[in-house]
Amino acid sequence: MLLLLFLGIAASRCLHDETQKSVSLLRPPLSQLAPDFRSASFTHPGSRDPQPLRIRTCYIRDPVSDGAWDTEGARRRGVPHALVAARQAARRLQGVLAVPPVQGPLLLSRDPAQYCHAVWGDPDTPNYHRCSLLNPGYKGESCLGVKIPDAHLRGYALWPEQGPPQLVQPDGPGVQNTDFLLYVRIAHTSKCHGEPSIIAYAACCQLDSEDRPLAGTIVYCAQHLASPSLSHTVSHSLAKHLGVLGASLGVPLEEEGALSSHWEARLLQGSVMTATFNGARRTRLDPVTLAAFKDSGWYQVNHSAAEELLWGRGSGLEFGLVTTCGAGSSEFFCTGSGLGCHYLHLDKGSCSSDPTLEGCRMYKPLANGSECWKKENGFPPGADNPHGEIYHSQSRCFLANLTSQLLRGDETRRPSQIPHLKEAELTGRCYLHQCTERGAYNVQVEGSPWVSCLPGKAIQIPGYHGLLFCPRGRLCQTNEGTNAVTSPPVSLATQDPLFHLSLQLAGPPGHSVGKETLEELTEAVLQALVSRDHTGSPSTTTGLVFTVYMWKSSGCHGPSVGMLHRALTLSLQKKPLEVYYGGASFTTEHIK
């Protein structure tokens, strides 16, 4: 099951296992159905060549909420955001997993224990163990609080002791071209209320005759619909939905009881299948997880889509053991409670632990403002910046004690004069980096030139006292985004957006957009444009003029940004962009 619970900057535990235990997994009761009632929607291994997994998302309006939260208002604002997040996660997995496709429309099973009050008990009768008395209180099937539409369900019948059945509910039309149904619910449930940090949680509800998951539900907590981590939370949850339930895979699992489905965090930190999540930029759909999908026997896997885990690389057989993690022998673990860098160097971090680490400690991202790659975390113009930090999309966290002021003692000596540089002497700082080739990079501090950063070495920066430590095996580990060695260093100015496009939107007469909904409308504009081009997040003014910035990352192939900008401009002049949001239609009136 691959649905997620990424919770922004702060790590959060996954509710999947405990939620799954509360849901009954329903399999098709083939032995209890007459041939006339058997649907063609079973997956028969070998009946067709595997095809990309077809995931259909279905939003079900929540009739009841467990708390006093304004779910109706949140729903109106958040449904498009929630569905976009679910569909983005589904598209990601469709490019990774393939299955023999369901034949005909997908129809889900009904639970005889729910609709049937009694069955025929005489094994000598033709209709032995078939429903002889209906449950008068039966109101249909549900999946984690979502009422499954009758159109998605098989029918059911009342059987006499002998003879043909009396049809109570015929088969629904089912869902065409679908291998997995993902129901989406927005609510303020008791789980959401009890654990305010939870963005979403999920469970699988139905399996096919080969135990492959067919349907599940993700519940978005209404108060978190504006969370920037929403789509990444869905990815973990959907992965959990589609994955292996309690199978023995030969991979160390968390000690969470008899039915754990999470990899051991001390060994596979950063995998989408660990029990804690630190945001999408720090989480990987890793080779171990994809191997587990393949070993389930349900899927063919596109292994080229695997994202490499850096955690523990080159650390040896004793890495991640409770008995060794506190010895200070590994760069991935830390001791004490100081500040440093998360092991991916995207964030500043504090040395801390959690229950899944079992006493081991690592640098976890700070609760606020830890991201070096977020420009908005930087210093305001004119503010004192004695350590020369730079917050930028190409900035990373480095252990350093740089300062523009004089330091004391050994901190001002050259690296070659320092016998042993301890991490305790340094702290996490954000500086610009630029890959020059695989495993090699330059760094830049505010006001300094680019300086070659030799992995595993401490360097000095012109204009600053102190040292900056260059991590080995963490940065520039792929050829993607690197510049040729002979290319001149890229300055901050040339990293900024190259082109922009301004769109003025006109809505229906009398329709107003409040400040609180501008973010959602901005996302709707971007979703309408993104299928045409490479664009960045649009900014907006109160007059509904959107400015969309366009750039081309280094290493990206294809037409120039200028050509794409001209093509998009001509396209929008020829056919105005239409954006549907909040029940209203907005149209571009002016482009410049």
Q: Is the pLDDT of residue 388 over 90?
A: yes
Alpha helices in 95-147 (DSSP H): 112-115
Confidence of residue 568 (pLDDT cuts 50, 70, 90): confident
**72-76, 81-85, 564-568: range with highest mean pLDDT:** 81-85
CATH architecture of 227-337: Alpha-Beta Complex (3.90)
Contact 442, 432 (CB under 8 A): no
Task: Provide the sign of the torsion angle of the four alpha carbons 378, 381, 383, 385, taken in this order.
Answer: positive
CA separation (Å) from 49 to 103, 181, 256, 290, 299?
A: 12, 21, 37, 19, 11
Beta-bridge partners for 584: 581
List 591's β-bridge partners, or say none.
503
Cβ atoms of 215 and 174 within 8 Å: the answer is no
**Mean pLDDT, to the nearest integer, of 105-110?**
95
Q: What is the mean pLDDT of residues 40-66?
A: 68
**What pLDDT does 140 receive?**
94
Length, in residues, of the chain: 592
CATH pick for 50-63+72-221 out of 3.10.170, 3.40.50, 1.20.1070, 3.30.70: 3.10.170
pTM assigned to the model: 0.67
Token couple for 420: 């042993």
Distant-in-sequence, close-in-space partners of 159: CB < 8 Å, separation ≥ 6: 120, 127, 130, 131, 132, 165, 166
Q: Above 50 in pLDDT, residue 504?
A: yes
CATH class of the region 499-591: alpha beta
Is the pLDDT at 104 greater than 70? The verdict is yes
Distance CA 390, CA 319 (A): 33
Q: What confidence score (pLDDT) does residue 486 get?
A: 25
Record: fold of 372-405+425-470: Leishmanolysin; domain 4 (2.30.34)
Residue numbers belonging to the annotated binding site: 236
Give the HSE-up count for residue 135: Cα atoms under 13 Å, Cβ half-sphere: 14
Q: Does pLDDT of 287 surpass 80?
A: yes
Give the helix/strand (H/E) hosting 574: helix 561-574
List binding-site positions for Zn(2+).
Answer: 236
pLDDT at 18 over 90: no
Mean pLDDT of the chain: 75
Q: Where are the domains of the chain?
A: 50-63+72-221, 227-337, 372-405+425-470, 499-591
Q: Which amino acid is at 24?
A: S
| DSSP-based three-state secondary structure for 494 | helix
Angle of helix 71-94 relative to helix 518-530, nearest 10 degrees, comes to 20
